[in-house]
Structure 1
Amino acid sequence: MNGSFGEFVAHAARDGALVVQPRMGMSDPARMRAGLLATRATDVRAAGTITLDSFTRVGEHDSVRTALTKGKQLNGYPIVDHPVAVTRKVLAGVCGPDFPVQVRHGSPRPQRIIAALVAARLHATEGGPISYCLPYSRVPVAESVRAWTESARMLAALREQGQRPHLETFGGCMMAQLCPPALLVAISVLEAVFFRRHGVDSVSLSYAQQTHPGQDAEALGALRALAEEFLPNTDWHVVLYTYMGAFPRTPAGSVALLEEAARLSVRGGASRLIVKTVAEAHRIPTIAENVDALLVASRAADRERHAPTAHEPVEDTGIAGQARAIVEAVLDLDPDLDAGLTRAVRLGLLDIPYCLHPDNAGRTRATVDGAGRLQWTRTGALPLRGLAESTNHEPVTADRLLRSLSYVERRFDDAALEHTAGAPA
C-alpha cells in the first residue's frame, strides 16, 4: 500500500526537488482524507501527514472516546481509537510509493500508536526517547527509552514483511527556540543511532530553524557530516522544521519566515521541509492554508536552487566539534545506548535549557545575542570545555528571556511592517 518513505525523499533529491510536508491532522476521517488528497493534488513534491491529537499523545484514550461519542472535534487524528478499517479507508487510493504518509504524534510511550499505524499499513513516523520525553512529558527518561526501544523494534519487524520502515528523530527541535544548535544536532544524531541499533535502517535527522540563518546553515552542515560519520550502512536524510517558536503575526512576516526556511533547506542540504502557515500565530490552519504553505515553500526552494548569485561561505563557529563531543561522550558512557542515554540525562551530558522535566539537570542556559545567534550563557556539565564557553555569566532575566523567545516573531513582523510603510500609496 505504501512505498518506502526514505526512497521517496531520495528520489526527489536526485531530481533536485525539496520534499515539502504539512503538519496536518483532523479528527474527522472524511476531513483527514480530504487533507491528504489536497496535499497529494499539489504540483510539488509533497509527503502526507497524519498528525495525532493531544489526548492520544499522552494516552488519555477515555477522553478521546468521550469526544468522539459526543461528536467533538479534536486537534488531530486519534489513530488508536478510530477503527483500523476507518483509517484504511482514509488512506485507500491516497498513499503509495509516489505519496507516502507519515504519522506525527509527540508521545514518550508510543507503543499503541505504533501498533495502530502498522495495522493501518503505514510505516513512517517520528519521535525519539529523549526528544519526545523531556519537552513534552513528565514520564521518566528510563521509561521513555524502554518504550521507544519496543516501538523501534515493532517497526523494524516490518522488514520481515518486505517493508522498509522509517523513523525521523525529533531531536532537532528540543525547545529549539532557545537551545543552541550543537545540542540539537547531537540529540538528532544520538536518536538516529538509537533507531539504527534497534533495527530501523531508514531514518531522518531533524533540525529546527532558529534565529540566525548563517548559524542554521552551519548546524545543518554539521548534522550531515556527523550522520555520515555515525550512521554507516543507513539510509538517511536531513529534514528541516520551519521555526517552531513564536511565529510572526503578520501574513507577510509568516510568508517571509517560511521562504527563509525553504532557502535554508537548499543551502544546508536538507531534503525535506516541514512547513508552517500564515495562521500559525492565531489558530489551527485550514487545508487550503496548508496547501498554500506547501506551494510557497516549494517555489522559494526552486528560486534558491536556480539563483545565479553565489552565497557567502558558511562560517565555522565550532558547532560540529561541540556536537561531536556530546555524541562521543554519550556513546562512551555504556556499550548499551539505552543505558547510556538515561545516564547521560542524569549526569547532565544532555541538559536542555529551560526544560522543566524532573529528570533534566537544568544547569544550562542560553540567549539570543546582539547578532541574532543563539549562544550559551551557562553550559552546566555538557562536555564542551574548551569548545564552547559561556558568553555571559549574568543571569538571564525574565525580560531577556521573553525578548529572546519573541526575537524571530519581532524580526519578521517588523520587517513586514516597514515594507508596508515604505510601499507607495
Structure 2
Amino acid sequence: MTGFGGFVAAAARAGELVVQPRMGFGDPARMRAGLAATRAAGVRAVGTLTLDSFTRVGEHDSVRAAFAEGKQLNGYPIVDHPLAVTRSVLDGLLGPDFPVQVRHGSPRPQRIVAALIAAGLDATEGGPISYCLPYSRVPVEESVRAWTESTRMLAELRSTGRRPHLETFGGCMMAQLCPPALLVAISLLEAVFFRRLGVDSVSLSYAQQTHPGQDAEALRALRELAARFLPDTDWHVVVYTFMGSFPRTPGGAAALLAEAARMSVRGGAERLIVKTVAEAHRIPTVEENVDALRIAAAAAAAQPSTRTTPEDTGIAAQATAIVEAVLELDADLGAGLARAVTTGLLDVPYCLHPDNAGRTRATVDGAGRLQWTRIGGLPLRGLAETGGEPNTSGQLLQALSYLERKFDDAALERECVLT
C-alpha cells in the first residue's frame, strides 16, 4: 500500500498515532518552513497545506489583489501561486516518508484539485455535504456535481500508479452541538460517495465532542459502519481535536489536546488533527503547531493501546438507520445526498444553509453528553430520546462553551494548587 493512506497504515502497524497540524500560510517561504518544521518535529506526522479563505470560495481576484498590495493571506493560495512556486515549497520535503495533504473548505473544489494534482499532490479532504452546508450558500445539488467531478479527477490518478486519498469532513459538521450519530452517518456516506466514484483510499473523520464516553461509542460505531459499507477499501479514522470554543488558558488548551490524543488511541483512530494553545486568540505560529504535535504524540504514546468497550447508548443504531435511509433514496448516491438534505432526512442542527431543513435541535445534558431535543425528519423514531432544549440565548451559549469552561476551570484550579 502506498500514498497517504499507506503512510498512516504503516504507522498504525507500528502502534503510533499520526499527528497533523492545520497549518497554512500565504507566503511560500513561510509555508515551506512550516512543512519542514513538521517533518523535523520528531513525531510521526504528515504535512498540511491549508488554503486561504479567498481560494476556498473561488475569489481569485481577491487573492491577486492581496498579492499586489502585499497583504498576508490566512492560508496558502494554491490556485494562484505559480505551479513552480508550489513545487519549490514541496521540493525535498514531500515523499513517501512525509505525505502532504491539502485542506481547504470549498464546495466547488475543481480548480483546487487540478492545482494540487499538477503540483504532485494526491491527498485532500472535504465532501459534497460537509464542505457545503457549514461554509457556503451554494446549493447542495451544485456542490454534489462539483465534488463528483473533483473526485473523478483524483480517481484518474490511479491509472498513473498513484494512490489518491480523500478524507471526508462529515464527522465535523458545524463543529459542535451535532449529536454523534449524525456525524458518523455523514462521514460514512461521504466516504461511500468517494469510493463509488473510484477513490479507494479514504479516511473517515470524527470531531471530539463534549463527553469522552460518547466519543468512544461514536468511534466504535464509525469503525463498525466502515467495515460494513466500505469493502475493498483502504480506510482509516481521523479525529479532530475539539472544533468549538477552545480553552483560553494554555493549560486548558494543552489538556484538551492531550485528551483528544488519548481518546483517539482508546477509540482505535489512526490519525489526529491537532489544535494549539493559541487557538482561542490568533492564528498559531509554526512553533506553536510543532509544540501541539509533540504534546499530542506524547499523550498518545502514554495511553495504553487496549481499546475500551464503551456503553451502547444507541449511536450505532441511529447512524445505521440514517445511512440506510439515505442509500435507499437513489442508486446515484450524489443525487441521494442532495435529496436527503432538501427533504430533511439529513438535517444538521443550527445550520443556516438554505437547503438545510432546520428542524433538528440538540443540547449538552447535565452529564456533558450531546442529546437530541428535536429529530425533525431524521429516521430516528424509536431510536433517539428527545428532551427539553435550550430556549434562551444564554442557555445556548452555555452549551457552546461547555468544554472551554470545563478545561479552563480545571487548569486554573491546578495553578491555584501549585501556588
1-structure distance, mates of 2:292, 2:338:
38
Show structure 2 runs of 5+ residues with no match. Answer: none
**1:238 to 2:234 alignment:** no
Which residue matches 1:322? 318
Post-superposition offset of 1:338: 1.1
Which residue matches 1:222? 221
Post-superposition offset of 1:220: 0.4
Post-superposition offset of 1:312: 6.4
Contact 1:27–1:53, Cα closer than 8 Å, also in 2: yes
Aligned partner letter, 2:149 = E
Structural mapping, 1:81-230, within 5 Å: 81-230=80-229
Post-superposition offset of 1:395: 5.3
> Deviation string for 1:68-92 (max 9, x for gaps)?
1221110000000000010000000
* Aligned counterpart in structure 2 of residue 417 of structure 1, from 399, 412, 419: 412
How many percent of aligned residue pairs carry the same amino acid?
78
Aligned partner letter, 2:245 = A
Post-superposition offset of 1:313: 3.9
Contact 1:176–1:184, Cα closer than 8 Å, also in 2: no
Contact 2:218–2:316, Cα closer than 8 Å, also in 1: yes
- Cα 1:341–1:114 change in 2 (3 A) is same
Contact 2:265–2:307, Cα closer than 8 Å, also in 1: no
Which residue matches 1:274? 273
Contact 2:132–2:138, Cα closer than 8 Å, also in 1: yes
Post-superposition offset of 1:389: 2.3
Aligned partner letter, 1:270 = A
SS at match of 1:305: coil
Aligned length: 418
Aligned partner letter, 2:354 = P
- Cα 1:328–1:214 change in 2 (3 A) is same
Contact 2:390–2:396, Cα closer than 8 Å, also in 1: no
Structural mapping, 1:279-358, within 5 Å: 279-305=278-304, 313-358=309-354
Aligned partner letter, 1:339 = A
Which residue matches 1:386? 382
1-structure distance, mates of 2:400, 2:112:
32
Which residue matches 1:51? 50
SS at match of 2:302: helix
Aligned partner letter, 1:349 = L
1-structure distance, mates of 2:245, 2:303:
25
Post-superposition offset of 1:43: 1.1
Post-superposition offset of 1:397: 2.0
> Deviation string for 1:334-392 (max 9, x for gaps)?
11101100110011010000000000000000000000000000000000011002122
SS at match of 1:68: helix
SS at match of 1:25: coil
SS at match of 1:177: coil
Could you tell me the TM-score, scaled by structure 1's length? 0.97
Post-superposition offset of 1:237: 0.1
1-structure distance, mates of 2:279, 2:52:
17
Contact 2:266–2:308, Cα closer than 8 Å, also in 1: no
Show structure 1 runs of 5+ residues with no match. Answer: none
**1:361 to 2:357 alignment:** yes
SS at match of 1:65: helix
SS at match of 2:87: helix
Post-superposition offset of 1:399: 1.1
Contact 1:65–1:81, Cα closer than 8 Å, also in 2: yes
- Cα 1:165–1:311 change in 2 (3 A) is closer
SS at match of 1:176: coil
Which residue matches 1:408? 403
Contact 1:20–1:273, Cα closer than 8 Å, also in 2: yes
SS at match of 2:49: strand
Contact 1:367–1:375, Cα closer than 8 Å, also in 2: yes
Aligned partner letter, 1:123 = D
1-structure distance, mates of 2:370, 2:143:
28
* Aligned counterpart in structure 1 of residue 393 of structure 2, from 394, 398, 418: 398
2-structure distance, mates of 1:160, 1:311:
38
SS at match of 2:176: helix
> Deviation string for 1:203-258 (max 9, x for gaps)?
00000000000000100000000000000000000000000000000000000000
Contact 1:349–1:381, Cα closer than 8 Å, also in 2: yes
- Cα 1:400–1:235 change in 2 (3 A) is same
> Deviation string for 1:154-210 (max 9, x for gaps)?
000001111000000000000131000000000000000000000000000000000
Post-superposition offset of 1:398: 1.1
1-structure distance, mates of 2:19, 2:390:
40
Contact 1:367–1:396, Cα closer than 8 Å, also in 2: no
CA RMSD of aligned residues (A): 1.0
